Chain A
Amino acid sequence: DGGITQSPKYLFRKEGQNVTLSCEQNLNHDAMYWYRQDPGQGLRLIYYSQIVNDFQKGDIAEGYSVSREKKESFPLTVTSAQKNPTAFYLCASTPLTAPCDYGYTFGSGTRLTVV
């Protein structure tokens, strides 16, 4: 089955630690996105990438980093500079040929908690 897979489902981070969230898709989609979801704040865009080896900052990129070495993969690293990382993180993808006809396909999310 084609889809988008996020792992792990739950992740715990200690203070001062970097952690990496995985996002893999086998839909042959060009564009991939990372959103952060907090209660009452909706989805806020962290980073996005429309082509391999290129990515753009979203609205809340500070404290995060990404890479896009392969079309299928778009991992997100939450660095120690992110002071309040506890949130639900969602990865999404879409083809660029007709992005809005397809809408976005979302992964099931990773819940990150600082301990």
Chain B
Amino acid sequence: AQSVAQPEDQVNVAEGNPLTVKCTYSVSGNPYLFWYVQYPNRGLQFLLKYITGDNLVKGSYGFEAEFNKSQTSFHLKKPSALVSDSALYFCAVRALNSGNTPLVFGKGTRLSVIA
């Protein structure tokens, strides 16, 4: 079975400081990993993905994520947070060899960037 854990319901960070939103996963075999962002009363927007290759993935709006196979983690990072980054962030996973099974999403982490 596939699963995703986002251990923090809420992350607070001051504007200009680096931010990290944590994600760990469990799949059989190699994972496809995604980060999405959701603003209030809107759908999810794709930020970045990891399939193969470099463990550091760069995405939209200056976000990046680091894939760590030994720790089964895919933490989202940004060097300098903006107030406009305040939103709900979701990590999602699917096993590479699972055919076309649906993505499994974490419960989400609310990021609050304080000016």
Name A residues whose Cβ lies closer than 8 Å to a Cβ of B.
4, 6, 31, 33, 35, 40-43, 45, 48, 50, 58, 88, 90, 92, 96, 99-101, 103-109, 111
Contact = CB atoms under 8 A, between A and B. Distances in A.
Q: Is the interface of A mostly helix, strand, loop or mixed?
A: strand
A6 B41 CA distance: 12
A100 B43 contact: no
Interface in B39-60: 41-46, 49, 51
Contact of A42 (B45, B49, B100, B107): B107
A100 B94 contact: yes
A106 B49 contact: no
Given A50-B100, A106-B43, A43 B94 contact: no
Residue with the greatest number of chain A CB neighbours at <10 A, chosen from B32, B36, B100, B102: B102
Contact of B105 (A42, A50, A88): A42
A37 to B, nearest CB: 8
B102 A33 contact: yes
Nearest to B47: A103
Given A43-B90, A104-B36, A111-B41, 6 more contacts: A40-B9, A42-B90, A50-B100, A99-B100, A103-B49, A106-B36
19 contacts: A31-B100, A41-B107, A42-B6, A42-B90, A42-B106, A42-B107, A43-B44, A43-B105, A92-B43, A100-B34, A100-B49, A103-B34, A103-B36, A103-B49, A104-B44, A106-B36, A106-B45, A108-B41, A109-B42
